[in-house]
Amino acid sequence: MREAVIERNTKETQIQVKVVLDGKGVANIHTGIGFFDHMLTALAVHSGISMHIQVAGDLHVDGHHTVEDTGIVLGKAIGEALGDKSGITRYGSAFIPMDESLAFCSLDISNRPFLVFQGTFTNAMIGQYDTCLTEEFFRAFAFQAGITLHINMMYGTNDHHKCEAAFKAVAHALQIAVTPTKSGQTLSTKGVL
């Protein structure tokens, strides 16, 4: 089983994450921010990666530390579960519509972390979730997992739909990228990732 458990405790957040790459997309997620839980649940269900995420954060300040630190720990867990990343499809891309919104993601599990995030929100908040933290989450996630991650919220008018389409696009691209290749060979001219 490709899985990992990571725990990270700071003065701002206490986080426990378990991921099972070959799970069934089971989500057991509690961050204290309802909409963020909804997005992480979508990430698990649509990627097929089972995720157990428990977070206690300083929400009396705001959601920044909770969201960013969850990205850090989830990224580390995905990276650890992938091991040396040999024998995976490596690349994945997906377009995901959500009503009037459309999002695109393309990623490369390459050990060369990078984030390109294109998209804007109309409102500062979706429920108790700061929309500006979407980019922060994905940056932390990509850099800790060793993923080159491109996300484009191409268009839309409803912030909930735009954000959810982005998370689901990442999920579907991730599902493709972590799939083992038939040959089991490392997909790189270098021989290693």
Q: pLDDT tens across 43-86, in order?
A: 999 999 999 999 999 999 999 999 999 999 999 999 999 999 98
Which pLDDT score is estimated for 190? Answer: 73
Q: Where are the alpha helices (DSSP H) in 52-158?
A: 64-82, 133-145
> What's the CA gap between 36 and 29, in Å, rounded?
9
Contact predicate 154/103, CB 8 Å: yes
Q: Residue 62's pLDDT is what?
A: 97
- The helix or strand, by DSSP H or E, that contains position 47, with its residue range, turns out to be helix 34-47
Kindly state the tokens that stand for 119: 């998209």
Task: Assign 6 to helix, strand or coil.
Answer: strand
pTM of the model: 0.96
pLDDT of res. 1: 83
pLDDT category at 145 given cuts 50, 70, 90 is very high
| pLDDT for the residue 182 | 84
Length of the chain (residues): 193
The model's pLDDT over 151-169, given as tens digits with 9 standing for 90+, comes to 999 999 999 999 999 999 9
